[in-house]
Chains A and B, each alone.
Chain A
Amino acid sequence: MEFTPPTRIPAARRPTETNVSSAIQFLFDNLSELHRLRDCARFLLEGIGRAAEGHDPDDLLSEAVTRTLEGTRTWNQTSVDIFGHLLGVMKSISSHWAESVSKRGASTYTESEVTRVLSDGKSVNELEQHKSSRPGPDRVLEAGQQLLLLENAFKEDREVTELIEALKAEFTGPEIRTLLGISPTEYETRMKRLRRKARTLSEGRGGGHD
């Protein structure tokens, strides 16, 4: 699934505070739209696992709204509606959270654990030498468990299993439909089964709400 970030817009066409506020008020007046946005936030947080660090979907959505109102994330009204804009901001924020936690993970080791003494007697901090954004083993393990749980839920469902494999290979929706030779309706049917089960598993883990 591809996401095209908004392009830079001229100052004359930047959203005014009034129409940003109006757009957000529209969301407030439509519970089903709010719910839909929040559901998106849920799955974006599921996607970063423990890197969410206790943030819940409302936190993610709230952060996206705040950054839009304060102007740090500009809404390109000509190319996307407020829903699409907030979805993009949430993707960016959750991705940043995941990255931040990955980088911070390196500092949890003691210096003696990561220091190597060379043949000439000099000490080298291995983490400083080979900085990596790779996550710690516990996060990888949990991500694996989460994914395997989802895959196992569909081990008797070949159609959704195929879908999951294609998604993991980072094919887009149209590419998957071509690859699997299925119609848009069939694709949506499979995706609906996948997200309902993913949502149920998330609820079971206590994710999605307090």
Chain B
Amino acid sequence: MTNRSRDYERELSVVMTAIAESVAQTPADVLWVECQEDGIDTEAIARRTKTILAEAVKRQSQQKLRQARSEYETHVAAMQRRVYSIPESIQKQRELLASVFSMKPELRGVLTAAARDFQQLTDNDVELTLKQLQELGALDDLFPKDNHR
């Protein structure tokens, strides 16, 4: 005679999962009435569920905002660190930009058509252009890593 012990956990799981499936296949309005007939306050339960889910949705959207803000702050901090890699004197900035364009003429595309006359670039233009080139990573191979803060 075989003494077959029962796997109660498995049996409970399959039965309850089947019941959950039957709930899923029952029209919502039919189930609503069924539960009310059994004395369950369906309206109160559903409203409570709605409140809880709304809080979960709100937490999730706040989490996304926090994440986006964190990424933005990291990016700004990185930009600020990169700025320090540019020489302070405008003369050295101009020399740097000239040598960059000499070594990498394709980078002249960063400049607008009007600004491609290098001699016509203002001091601010020179500094801004160098910052843009750094942002693009175009100057990474020109600066040793320890130049960044």
Which chain A residues have a beta carbon within 8 Å of chain B's beta carbons?
Answer: 1, 3, 21, 24, 27-28, 30-44, 46-49, 57-58, 61-62, 65-66, 69-70, 83-84, 87, 91, 98, 135, 139-140, 143-144, 146-147, 150, 164, 167-168, 170, 173, 188, 191-192, 194-196, 198-200, 203, 208-209
B34 within 8 A of A: yes
Q: Can you add 15 more A-B contacts, CB < 8 Å, to A46-B16, A58-B49, A69-B56?
A: A1-B17, A32-B28, A35-B49, A37-B49, A39-B35, A43-B19, A44-B17, A48-B13, A49-B9, A65-B57, A69-B57, A84-B24, A91-B20, A147-B11, A199-B35
Determine if B8 and A147 form an interchain contact, defined as CB atoms under 8 angstroms apart. yes
Chain B at the A interface: SS class: helix
With A40-B23, A65-B57, A195-B22 in contact, is A47–B52 under 8 Å at CB?
no
Which B residues are CB-close (under 8 A) to A168?
11, 14-15
Instruction: Name the interface size band of chain B.
Output: 35 or more
Per-residue CB proximity of B38-54 to A under 8 Å, as 1/0? Answer: 10101101111110111
Q: How far is the CA of A31 from the CA of B44 in the complex (A)?
A: 10
B4 within 8 A of A: no
Q: Measured between C-beta atoms, what is the minimum distance from B14 to chain A in Å? A: 5
Determine if A170 and B14 form an interchain contact, defined as CB atoms under 8 angstroms apart. yes
Nearest opposing residue in chain B for A44, CB measure: B20
Which B residues are CB-close (under 8 A) to A37?
49
Q: Measured between C-beta atoms, what is the minimum distance from B44 to chain A in Å? A: 9
With A43-B19, A135-B9 in contact, is A35–B45 under 8 Å at CB?
yes
22 A-B pairs (CB sep. < 8 Å): A21-B57, A28-B53, A30-B28, A31-B42, A31-B50, A33-B28, A43-B20, A46-B16, A47-B15, A61-B52, A62-B56, A65-B56, A65-B57, A69-B60, A87-B20, A87-B24, A91-B20, A98-B9, A139-B9, A143-B8, A143-B9, A144-B6
Q: How far is the CA of A43 from the CA of B22 in the complex (A)?
A: 10
Q: How far is the CA of A40 from the CA of B29 in the complex (A)?
A: 15
Residue among A41, A47, A143, A191 facing the most chain B CB atoms (10 A cut-off): A47
Determine if B19 and A195 form an interchain contact, defined as CB atoms under 8 angstroms apart. yes
Which chain B residues have a beta carbon within 8 Å of chain A's beta carbons?
Answer: 6, 8-9, 11-24, 26, 28-29, 31-32, 34-35, 38, 40, 42-43, 45-50, 52-57, 59-61, 63
Determine if B60 and A167 form an interchain contact, defined as CB atoms under 8 angstroms apart. no
Nearest opposing residue in chain B for A203, CB measure: B40
Q: How far is the CA of A40 from the CA of B21 in the complex (A)?
A: 7
Determine if A40 and B24 form an interchain contact, defined as CB atoms under 8 angstroms apart. yes
Determine if A66 and B31 form an interchain contact, defined as CB atoms under 8 angstroms apart. no
Those 4 A-B pairs whose CB atoms lie nearest each other, nearest first? A47-B16, A32-B28, A144-B8, A31-B46
With A167-B14, A170-B14, A203-B40 in contact, is A40–B46 under 8 Å at CB?
no
Say which residue of B14, B52, B60, B63 sits within 8 Å of A58 (CB atoms): B52
Q: Measured between C-beta atoms, what is the minimum distance from A34 to chain B in Å? A: 5
Say which residue of B23, B52, B53, B57 sits within 8 Å of A39 (CB atoms): B23
Which A residues are CB-close (under 8 A) to B29?
32
Which A residues are CB-close (under 8 A) to B52?
58, 61-62
With A66-B60, A143-B8, A198-B16 in contact, is A36–B53 under 8 Å at CB?
no
